[in-house]
Amino acid sequence: MKIDVLTLFPEMFVGPLDFSMVKRARTAGILDLRVINLRDYTHDRHRTVDDKPFGGGPGMLLKPEPIFEAVESLANEKTHVVLMTPTGRKFDQQIARDLAKEEHVLFLCGAYEGFDERVRTLVDDELSIGDFVLTNGALPAMCMIDTVTRLLPGVLGHECSAVDESFSHDLLEYPQYTRPAEFREMKVPDVLLSGNHAEIQKWQREQALKRTTERRPDLLKE
């Protein structure tokens, strides 16, 4: 899979995407990741990417010219262009699964007060990681890249790892335990020590439903 990120702050991506599963995917050639500076597509000596909004208002907007030039240079007919914006639909595990099927994803990271509205004509989707506002779109893009990368074949050590996690079946993950079987008078549930796989699966399903009901009832409604 190929992922390009267009951002004003490429330095923010150094570190978070150089460790763990993302590094493993990049090293193995499963993920081809590039982080591109939007200023590389400017042509004035100040490398200007922003300007004041028409009609007044606080802050600055990203200009359309460098973004259009960048997308037209980086994208092709197979590219899925995603705009990072707090007004986008909320990113979730199903969206991550959909993105993982794409050959090429281009993330456009906003900054300042956002984009010139005409930039939206370039994109296939607009995504947000929650109902809050961040300084720019770099952190949401990193979250999405990490989530999508884990779903790529060959990245996780066990093929079922991504299947049994929280949100994979619209439920939170069930409680899990490891050795020792008793720690500070807290015991592992007997069913997990029984060796009865049918009963274990039943218990896991019940616990997942219980945890989701208590912590995220909105998932059950959806």
Residue 155 lies in a domain: no
Same domain, 77 and 142: yes
Same domain, 36 and 108: yes
Same domain, 191 and 141: no
Same domain, 44 and 132: yes
> Mind listing the pLDDT tens digit of every residue in the chain (222 residues)?
999 999 999 999 999 998 999 999 999 999 999 999 999 999 999 999 999 999 988 899 999 999 999 999 999 999 999 999 999 999 999 999 999 999 999 999 999 889 999 999 999 999 999 999 899 999 999 999 999 999 999 998 755 555 555 565 778 999 999 999 999 999 999 999 999 999 999 999 999 999 999 999 998 887
Give the pTM. 0.86
Same domain, 14 and 95: yes
* Boundaries of domain holding 194: 164-222
Same domain, 37 and 144: yes
pLDDT in tens, 89-104: 999 999 999 999 999 9
Same domain, 81 and 185: no
Check residue 136 and report its DSSP letter. B
CB contact at 8 A, 137 and 109? yes
pLDDT in tens, 61-80: 999 999 999 999 999 999 99
Helices marked H in the chain: 20-27, 64-74, 93-100, 138-150, 190-193, 197-215, 217-221
Query: According to the model, what pLDDT value does residue 221 have?
Result: 81
Residue 62 lies in a domain: yes
User: What are the residues whose beta carbons fall under 8 Å from the beta carbon of 208, sequence distance 6 or more?
Assistant: 169, 171, 172, 173, 174
Same domain, 130 and 168: no
Domain count, the chain: 2
Same domain, 125 and 93: yes
- The Cα 108–Cα 85 span in angstroms is 9
Residue 133 lies in a domain: yes
Same domain, 139 and 200: no
Check which CATH number belongs to the domain holding 185 and give it: 1.10.1270.20
Residue 79 lies in a domain: yes
Tokens, residue 29: 């050639």
Residue 73 lies in a domain: yes
